[in-house]
Structure 1
Amino acid sequence: MGNTSLALGVDDTHQVATRKAMARLLPLLCLIYFMSYVDRTNVSLAKAHLAADLGIGAAAYGLGAGIFFLGYALLEVPSNLLAHRIGPRPWIARIAVTWGALSAAMMFVQGTTSFYVLRVLLGIAEAGLFPALMYMVTLWFAPKDRAVAVGWIYTAPALGLLVGNPLGGALMQLDGLGGLRGWQWMFVLEGLPTILVGVLLYFKLPERPRDARWLSPAEAAALERRAVLEADPHSHLSSQDWTAAIRRPSTVLMGLIYFLNQVAFVGLVFFTPAMIQQMKDTTPFQVGLMSSSVGLGFLLGVLVLPRIHRRVKSDFVFLGVLMAGLLASAWAFIATGSQGVQMALFVATAFFAGGVLPSYWAIAMKRLQGIQAAAGLAFINTIGLLGGFVGPYLFGMAESATGRSAAGFSVVMGAAALGLLLVPLLAKASRGDQPAAQAGGGAAPVVGPAS
């Protein structure tokens, strides 16, 4: 009886501590991810103006938009290993300051070469941010709470599109002020605040529960015990330890499905303003406002789908259903000629393509922890980010070939169909994985048993 009471007391302490972490830690993680999405996607609003002012055509724009992800992808694993060694707080702050400066420097673009160079440097500067955020989730939250935590983090990029597009469109209307073009004002006024956010995080972001002043010692201990931390957070980085995670077939397949998702979703994000501009004769602010439909669908997806996922027994049936939904929404967009229906389908496509993202990471984190989580999550993100390069490039090629930005929805259809074919292979490969150890008497898995 005494042991039962003690267990209940520990569970109550952990629940209270988890609620505090959700309320105090997640807003800081969301803030930096919000800024990253605003700064990496605001170029989509400048597409037509870069073509008119600097002669950067659709194919060149698509390459420049996507090339951001090359430097980002290639440095994901080493960046996150450094975050593991140095600590997430100073590393995330460093990332924010350097990418904010480079985002503001986009105002100096003079042509295709400088456009490509600054986009590559921006990707290099931001490399490691997202897996570092996911690594922090593994340090703070029990497996059963991670899907919801990641879902809240994903509200940040959704809001980045929902709020950032109208804001960027409004800043574009400063055209001519001080002798600068509207797109130059947008880049500088959205880049400089990121530097300030990076400084704020350096002083305010606690790395681990034990560092948080707003947690009692008992609450911090409960969080760390359930999160299954390594005994020494700065232990030697053995290659045998971290390479085991990236050699797993399930890790590779997860990365490939994420790659296809990013081909579809990143292409959609970077080309939605151009599609809307071709549909309607609108001002930059109106384009930004209507482009936020993608952000609305994304936001609805990350708020609704993780909560459904927690009640579904099979991770992989759930992934398959969402892939089928993405395929159906892309087909419907191509099939209809109604602009009103197409606006609704922007929302639906983003709902499936963006809303599935927390589930990818929740499934991956179920079997990764410690140094393997740092390396494995970064490796999955590396493969996915290559899709972020390929997607805009394919969208740009489709527009160049047809003269219509909306032709990119054929790319969404192809990526969704291939992803749907890979889900059964992922289910089969995952059956041989050993779930990550769970402390505290067996915390529940993130989203239910793998099928």
Structure 2
Amino acid sequence: MNTASLNESSDEVHRLATRRAMIRLIPLMCAIYFMSFLDRTNVALAKVQLAADVGISAAAYGLGSGIFFIGYALLEVPSNLAAHRIGPRRWIARIAVTWGILSTAMMFVTGEWSFYVLRVLLGIAEAGLFPALMYMVTLWFAPHDRPVAVGWIYTAPALALMLGNPLGGALMQLGGIGGLHGWQWMFMIEGIPSVLVGVLLWFKLPERPRNAKWLSPAEVAVLEARAVIDAKGHPELTSADWIAALKRPTTVLIGLIYFLNQVAFVGLYFFTPAMIHQMHVNTPFLVGLLSSSVGLGFLLGVLILPRIHRRYGNDCVYLGVLTAGLVAGACAFIAAASPAARMALLVVTAFFGGGVLPSYWAIAMKRLHGIQAAAGLAFINTIGLIGGFVGPYLFGMTETATGRSDSGFMVILAASVLGLLLVPLLDRAIRREANPHVDVAINRA
């Protein structure tokens, strides 16, 4: 058999193995991320009732919603290094069980300080989950397939926003049964399944292709050969190299752009129920149902945009187009007056704000492998998580100052414009990393 035939045969084995891996792995990864996002964001539905029942103000709610990300961010890199050391399967299962217990404990909030403490502990418990999932993607999938794999994983939080808001709204209407408020029922009923999913992952989630009994030896070999290599074709890097990933300009710039996205997008989904409520919608279930518009836009974005990215030549031009779309959506929302137009623009804003997320990770994964991926992806997520703290806090401050939840769209506009300005700097850093002499050549030209 000639070389061309061997390559074609290898490509076909890789294609089938990748498809099998996606069918087997992605549902499990989506299940755990769905539950984490549900438990992280259900507090948005409780905002109005927490104010009435335990006296938590808009500013305190914004601080408590965002402070979750501080504990999360502080332990992100150590947590993902632990996942690299002991294996992502055991570590992800541990995370799920711990945060499920703490999410259920949110039903015992009695005031601002207990709210803050439980949100911090919940963030600490969940630290490392998402970068551990991204690290697993680098172990299983070739760079060409990663945007689609990450896009599928991001359907989980999109579905959590779509389905979780109506579900949470329905659970909120259980208030009075058993002497509990509606938000207490919601936290309890939505927290327990996370523990069960964590136990399931312990038994069902293989860490690497070599651990999967449902792959043939040829499929294991081709998946690992095309996934866990660096740009020069060398094997996985040693632990002595992980700090270098944190110093790379591309890692820092991707992290900063992601930070600004999270300021905008996290603030959006935490405050959408309040925006809907100010449109004179008062029934908790209807508020939850209409708030799912953000999840719909998010879902459409992560299903459509990564597939376009896979066929697009220039990463940074594509990233710039999507960020410009977020700017346009924010401007249109601010200018719109009718509730119907604003509901549609919530979908558009979430389409670009959420749909761009797989592209950040795909761009980063091209440049980070092995333990550098474990450290670098966690570092990027850490920077983004700080944005997750800043966003809700700024939204809460603007609502306190203006009396309007929708004034947070000014925060979205400012953050997305700053993110757009950083994209050319990322492009320059990528070109310099690929060819250190490129700037010299450009200047001489």
Fold conserved between structures, TM > 0.5:
yes
| Letter in structure 2 aligned against 1:148 | V
| Letter in structure 1 aligned against 2:218 | A
CA distance in 1, matches of 2:129, 2:322: 26
Following superposition of structure 1 onto structure 2, how do residues 142-153 of structure 1 map, counting pairs within 5 Å?
Answer: 142-153=142-153
Which residue in 1 is equivalent to 2:346?
346
Asked whether the 8 Å contact 2:260–2:384 carries over to 1, the reply is yes
Asked whether the 8 Å contact 2:238–2:371 carries over to 1, the reply is no
CA distance in 2, matches of 1:229, 1:53: 54
| Letter in structure 2 aligned against 1:85 | R
| Letter in structure 2 aligned against 1:119 | R
Which residue in 1 is equivalent to 2:316?
316
Following superposition of structure 1 onto structure 2, how do residues 54-203 of structure 1 map, counting pairs within 5 Å?
Answer: 54-203=54-203
Segments of structure 2 that go 5 or more residues without pairing to the other structure are: 436-445
Asked whether the 8 Å contact 1:367–1:434 carries over to 2, the reply is no
Deviations 1:1-36 (A, max 9, x none): 522222221111111100001111111001000001
Give 1:176 shift. Answer: 0.6
Does the residue aligned with 2:250 lie in a helix, a strand or coil?
Answer: helix
Asked whether the 8 Å contact 2:103–2:122 carries over to 1, the reply is yes
| Letter in structure 1 aligned against 2:18 | T
CA distance in 2, matches of 1:297, 1:218: 40
Asked whether the 8 Å contact 2:281–2:287 carries over to 1, the reply is no
Asked whether the 8 Å contact 1:263–1:388 carries over to 2, the reply is yes
Which residue in 1 is equivalent to 2:248?
248
CA distance in 2, matches of 1:416, 1:192: 36
CA distance in 2, matches of 1:330, 1:40: 24
Does the residue aligned with 2:239 lie in a helix, a strand or coil?
Answer: coil
Which residue in 1 is equivalent to 2:273?
273
Give 1:82 shift. Answer: 0.4
Which residue in 2 is equivalent to 1:374?
374
Asked whether the 8 Å contact 2:245–2:375 carries over to 1, the reply is yes
Which residue in 2 is equivalent to 1:294?
294
Deviations 1:113-165 (A, max 9, x none): 00000000000000000000000000000111001000000001000101111
CA distance in 2, matches of 1:232, 1:93: 27
Does the residue aligned with 1:433 lie in a helix, a strand or coil?
Answer: helix
Give 1:434 shift. Answer: 4.2
Asked whether the 8 Å contact 1:64–1:119 carries over to 2, the reply is yes
Q: 1:99 to 1:60 in 2, by over 3 A?
A: same
- Structure 2 length-normalised TM: 0.95
CA distance in 1, matches of 2:365, 2:252: 14
CA distance in 2, matches of 1:372, 1:251: 11
Deviations 1:319-338 (A, max 9, x none): 11111111111111111111
Deviations 1:41-80 (A, max 9, x none): 0000000000000110000000000000001011110000
Deviations 1:225-269 (A, max 9, x none): 111259987x8622xx01111101111111110000000000001
Percent identity, please: 75
CA distance in 1, matches of 2:274, 2:133: 31
Number of residue pairs matched by the alignment: 432
Give 1:280 shift. Answer: 2.0
CA distance in 1, matches of 2:212, 2:285: 41
Which residue in 2 is equivalent to 1:237?
239
Give 1:365 shift. Answer: 0.4
Following superposition of structure 1 onto structure 2, how do residues 359-370 of structure 1 map, counting pairs within 5 Å?
Answer: 359-370=359-370
CA distance in 2, matches of 1:353, 1:343: 15
Deviations 1:175-194 (A, max 9, x none): 01111000000001000000
CA distance in 1, matches of 2:259, 2:357: 11
| Letter in structure 2 aligned against 1:23 | I
CA distance in 1, matches of 2:263, 2:8: 46
Cα RMSD after superposing both structures: 1.3
| Letter in structure 2 aligned against 1:237 | S
| Letter in structure 2 aligned against 1:140 | W
Segments of structure 1 that go 5 or more residues without pairing to the other structure are: 436-451
Which residue in 1 is equivalent to 2:443?
none
CA distance in 2, matches of 1:434, 1:325: 28
Which residue in 2 is equivalent to 1:38?
38
Which residue in 2 is equivalent to 1:217?
217
Which residue in 2 is equivalent to 1:326?
326
Does the residue aligned with 1:432 lie in a helix, a strand or coil?
Answer: helix
Deviations 1:168-220 (A, max 9, x none): 00100100111100000000100000000000000000001111111111111
Which residue in 2 is equivalent to 1:206?
206
Asked whether the 8 Å contact 2:162–2:294 carries over to 1, the reply is yes
CA distance in 2, matches of 1:49, 1:144: 46
| Letter in structure 1 aligned against 2:90 | P
